[in-house]
Amino acid sequence: MFQSRKNEYRFLFSFLMLFSSLFLISTSVQAGYPGSEEAIIRAVERVEPAVVNIKTLWVSSHGRTKEGTGSGVIISADGWIITNAHVIRNARKIYVTLNDGRIFSATSWRANPREDIAVVKIPPNNLPVAPVANSLNLKKGQIAIAIGNPWKFRSTVTVGCISGFGRNVSMGDSGFAVRYKDLIQTDAAINPGNSGGALVNSKGEVIGINTLVFTGAQGSYAQGLSFAIPIDHTMEIAKEMMRSREGPQVKPWLGVHVQNVSPKMQLGVKSGVIIVRFPPDSPAREAGLRPGDIVVGVNLVPISSIKDMQAVINRLNPGDTIIITILRGMNKANVKVTLEGIRQ
């Protein structure tokens, strides 16, 4: 009888060990389920570095410089970024801030207002690139992660699910009206500033570009109705614009207000260009130039007038680093300045 009880205990112990092992395996598998915390964290870590903040400067009808913000997604190592057309609407200058804190001035940009898709180009400088999924394989109910910069809160993550497909929505005003087709609907929270950011699956792949929030008719309020343009369609339109040379003409910008030197100024030089002041966000000022500096050379080419200086700079490109030779008092110096891009 004792031997029988001993065998029963051994059987029970073996059964408990087997059950514990199966439980641990089950828990491990469950932890890797697409909706799990670990999977979401890994997905965010994979895509977040390639989601950028986009700041635009534009001029109002009253002649005042104003600022707009949105999001974008880096899709190529050579510096192309996808965003919404309404994010860069009327922009004269565009600045892109990466998740690692680096800031670039856009060298060119193009937009398709009808599709509300745009591309922005920055210099290729060791850039992270977002992996892209096939948005045709999505399923209702699967995890959806929105990454962007709502209300200037940089690099914000919200989580929801795919709520529906093929949604057609008309939005905008007479100046910028769009009839969106075949949008992805999600309940992941999207707010102003999220536009142009990434909608991501649990594998850390971009499935759409976050575009708008539906708030319902006037006097009503809708919740959990956010929409993204499928990434397949977005990439198709973006590649067309990347290949095209059409779009706003972006010229190189030094960022100085100047006037020609004249003998009446009694500055000790017969010719040159004197810096009077700087506009906002001037690359020349950031490089160390000051009001009162006299420009006498650009890239070792002698400069005697504004016309000379413009002729040299206009042959260059946004993103080029140039050498400005100046006279500051009795001293002569060379200052390196990286030209930015500005829309004509």
Give the pLDDT score at 31. Answer: 41
- Is 100 known to be catalytic? no
Query: Do both 317 and 184 map to the same domain?
Result: no
Task: Give the number of other CB atoms < 10 A from CB of residue 68.
Answer: 18
Report the alpha-carbon angle 112-116-118, nearest 5.
55
d(CA 16, CA 24) in angstroms, rounded, equals: 12
Based on the domain organization, do 138 and 87 belong to the same domain?
yes
Residue 220 sits in the same domain as residue 283:
no
Q: State whether 206 and 59 are in the same domain.
A: yes
Give me the pLDDT at residue 7, please.
54
Residues 186 and 265 both lie in one domain: no
pLDDT of residue 332: 93
Q: Catalytic annotation on 220?
A: no
Q: Which residues of 127-155 are buried (b: 16+ CB within 10 A; e: fewer)?
A: bbebebbebeebeeeebbbbbbbbeeebb
Q: Catalytic: which of 71, 105, 108, 116?
A: 116
Count of the separate structural domains present in the chain: 3
Same structural domain for residues 20 and 155?
no
Q: Are residues 75 and 162 in the same domain?
A: yes
Q: What is the pLDDT of residue 237?
A: 95
- 10 with 72, same domain: the answer is no
Domain that holds residue 185: 34-248
Predicted pLDDT at 179: 87
- Is 116 considered catalytic here? yes
Q: Do 57 and 175 share a structural domain?
A: yes
Largest CA distance in the chain: 121
Q: How many CA atoms lie within 13 A of 124 on its CB side?
A: 7
Looking at 227, 248, 269, the residue that finishes a domain is: 248
pLDDT for 8:
57
- Please list the rounded mean pLDDT of every run of 10 residues in the chain (344 residues): 51 51 44 68 97 92 84 97 95 95 94 94 95 91 95 93 91 73 94 95 96 73 85 95 78 94 87 93 94 95 94 92 93 95 84
